[in-house]
């Protein structure tokens, strides 16, 4: 356990301790909408891959509390497995989105 991380998490309050995630979906009219939010542990979250009726899965959003706004190798593997185009990571307010294909491309 990193002392710094624990301190940061304490400062942010309880809701930020665990990762939270949800699906990013798109309606036929182009509007972005979201699936149900799930919370996990400080280092992982099982994101429900579910979109509101009529919308299509576009990507996944999750937080990295006290971490870096970059997808982990597990994040990329899961994203590819689920066939999503986009991964958005929020590390304590610093949110970045990445496009996944053959390679990972940042800052989209
Ligand atoms: Zn992650």
Q: Give per-residue pLDDT as tens, 34-92.
A: 999 999 999 999 999 999 999 999 999 999 999 999 999 999 999 999 999 899 999 99
State which residues form the domain around 85.
3-105
Domain count along the chain = 1
Using H for helix, E for strand and C for coil, what is the string for 24-82? EEECCCCCEEECCCEECCCCCCCCCCCCCCCCEEEEEEEECCCCCCCCCHHHHHHHHHH
What pLDDT does 21 receive? 95
Bigger pLDDT: 101 vs 96 = 96
For residues 28 and 54, the answer to whether their CB atoms sit within 8 Å is yes
What's the CA-to-centroid distance between 14 and ligand 1, angstroms? 19
What's the CA-to-centroid distance between 93 and ligand 1, angstroms? 14
Confidence of residue 16 (pLDDT cuts 50, 70, 90): low
What's the CA-to-centroid distance between 13 and ligand 1, angstroms? 20
Q: Which two tokens stand for residue 50?
A: 């579910």
User: Residue 13 sits in a domain of what CATH number?
Assistant: 3.40.140.10
Region of 78 (left: φ > 0; alpha: ψ -120 to 50; beta: rest) is: alpha
């Amino acid at each position: 356990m990193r002392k710094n991380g624990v301190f940061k998490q304490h400062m942010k309050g309880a809701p930020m301790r665990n990762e939270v995630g949800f699906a990013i979906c798109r309606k036929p009219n182009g509007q972005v909408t979201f699936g149900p939010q799930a919370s996990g542990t400080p280092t992982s979250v099982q994101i429900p891959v579910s979109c509101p009726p009529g919308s299509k899965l576009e990507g996944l959003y999750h937080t990295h509390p006290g971490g870096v706004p970059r997808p982990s190798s597990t994040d990329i593997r899961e994203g590819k497995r689920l066939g999503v185009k986009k991964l958005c990571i929020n590390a304590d307010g610093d949110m970045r989105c990445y496009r996944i294909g053959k390679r990972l491309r940042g800052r989209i």
